[in-house]
Amino acid sequence: MWTSVHNSRASAAGASRERFRMYSALIDCDVHEDVPNEAAILPYMSAEWREFASLGGVMLADGTKSFSMNPWGYHRHDSVPPDGGAPGSSLPFLAEQLLDPHDVTNAVLTGDWMSLYLGALANPHLGRETARALNDYRAEHWLDQDERLLGSICVPVQVPEWAADEVRARADDTRFVQAILSSNPHSFAFGHPIFDPLHRALAETGRPFGIHSLGQSAASAAPAHLAGGSPVYYVEYHGGGGQEMMSQAMSFIYNGVFERYPDLKLVLIEAGSVAWVAPFLKRLDTDFKGLRREVPWCKKLPSEYFASNIRVTTQPFDHDRADDLMLKALDDYGAEDFLLFATDYPHWDADVPLRALQAMPRSWRDKVACRNAATTSKSRCRHDRNHSWARRRLPTRGAGARRHPSRGTRRSAEHWSPTRQGGRAARVRADVPPQGRAAPAGTGSSRAQLRWPRAQEVGSGALRARLSVAQMGVLA
């Protein structure tokens, strides 16, 4: 339900001012770009593997299981590019729906089926060749085309030494800001010492170890997706995403990864909300006090390792008020320093930037929106005042200027909605780019920008739970 609407240049400027007041820049840490089809990456493979993958019996996006199949699909139906192809496979359309209307400073591309299920390929040599081809494709078709885009390195984790080689091969390209893994072909979580070559390569190149949920059980030899066994329904599979993130965090902490590599960061992406973090850390700290002799290399409490070395993306942000008791519990563990904003575009449960950020305590917003991400990787995330987005100036106090939210009355969720400004829809026509930015190639007045749902239509968390499947736009 992203209704097409036309608006004026003035409305666009007003929307930008509202965003600027909440945060100085916006880094989206989970954007699922895709390839149009498997044939698109064949030119990036060697001749031998190109022939092998073209025979018709090979699936590069392998590893799906029936319980992970959402019968209504994973993407919003209106995210399909106008010229066809998979959702997220068109840069102009992605810019039209996400980057431009929300003034995204940087978007970290995490890929979709082929990238995330790469570890499910049983043939390790095919996995190695596919990883290299996907990274080359991502660089040429995405990173070379828009400076706002940052990439994730696909790695052939079937052989951790080969995964380390791929990380080092991209070391000089600062546009690749992390490694991305989801499917796990091994029976141990990613903090196990068998993955030490990859840990070392990432630490040496200053890049985080990114783990995306909801894919680790796709490989044939992998453990069950949920702690007690494999789920039967998609609703179980989707709701249990946080369980595998807990396992990964414990694996990195208790295997001493952060003692060996103090600067290495672990990023848990689409981690099944963030509310689980506080009770999880309380449990770990309590247990550690009685059992720490089993892991003598751990010199700090688990919560201390978590705060210094682990980052968690916010989507799905299941909270509607900044005074939510769960957020207060998270605040006690320093959540404002370890949360990274993410939309999860173009999936069906993607978060609206302003809607999610306004539901956080004010002291969190700028850190979560950009500053935490900019310091997580040594590569090229930008939030400084020299960035073209951050150089924009707000109107001086007076007519037409509103109080900064941290020094004024509390604003309602509707006030901060990206589709409500003074009672009017505030979106930009495809042929009217935000101030100071040229329109992306391929956009024009023939197709209006699609808006994100209003806060009262979708929102996050409790508001989303009160909507029917049809209202969520999952059904056509």
Q: Return the sign of the alpha-carbon dihedral for residues 421, 424, 430, 432.
A: negative
Cα–Cα distance between 431 and 183 in angstroms, integer?
A: 40
Let me know if residue 159 belongs to a domain: yes
The reported pLDDT for the residue numbered 223 is 62
Q: What is the pLDDT of residue 403?
A: 34
Kindly state the tokens that stand for 205.
């190149």
Q: String of b and e for 70-103 (b: at least 16 CB within 10 Å)? A: eeeebbbbebbbeeebbbbbbbbbbbbbbbbbbb
Q: What are the backbone angles phi and psi of residue 264, rounded to the nearest 5°?
A: -70, 135
Q: Is position 471 within any domain?
A: no
The set of residues, in sequence order, having a beta carbon less than 8 Å from that of 140 and lying 6+ positions away, is none
Tell me if 208 is assigned to some domain.
yes
Residues 6+ apart with CB under 8 A from 83: 90
Answer yes or no: is 15 within a domain.
Answer: no
Contact of 391 with 383, CB cutoff 8 Å = no
Write down the pLDDT at residue 54.
Answer: 85
Range of the domain at 103: 23-391
CA atoms within 13 A on the CB side of 189: 21
CA–CA dist 102, 270 (Å, integer): 20
Question: Does residue 267 sit within a domain?
Answer: yes
- CA Rg, the chain, in Å? 22
| Number of domains making up the chain | 1
Q: Chain centroid to CA 371: how far?
A: 15
In-domain check, residue 400? no
**Distance, CA of 344 to CA of 97 (rounded, Å):** 13
Q: In what order do the strands lie in the sheet with 27-31?
A: 27-31, 106-109, 149-154, 176-181, 209-212, 266-269, 310-313, 339-340
Closest by CA to 387, choosing from 456, 437, 461, is 437
Residue 74: its pLDDT value, please?
84
Angle (CA) 109 115 120, round 5°: 155
Low-confidence ranges of the chain (pLDDT < 70): 1-20, 57-59, 61-68, 219-226, 379-476
Q: Quick one: tokens of 158?
A: 């079937």
Instruction: Report DSSP state, residue 21.
Output: H
Query: Does 114 map to a domain?
Result: yes
pLDDT score for 53: 86
| Domain assignment of residue 467, yes or no | no
Q: What local confidence, expressed as pLDDT, does residue 395 receive?
A: 31
CATH code at 92? Answer: 3.20.20.140
The pTM score is: 0.79
Which one-letter amino acid corresponds to residue 275? Answer: A
| Separation of alpha carbons 216 and 181, rounded Å | 8
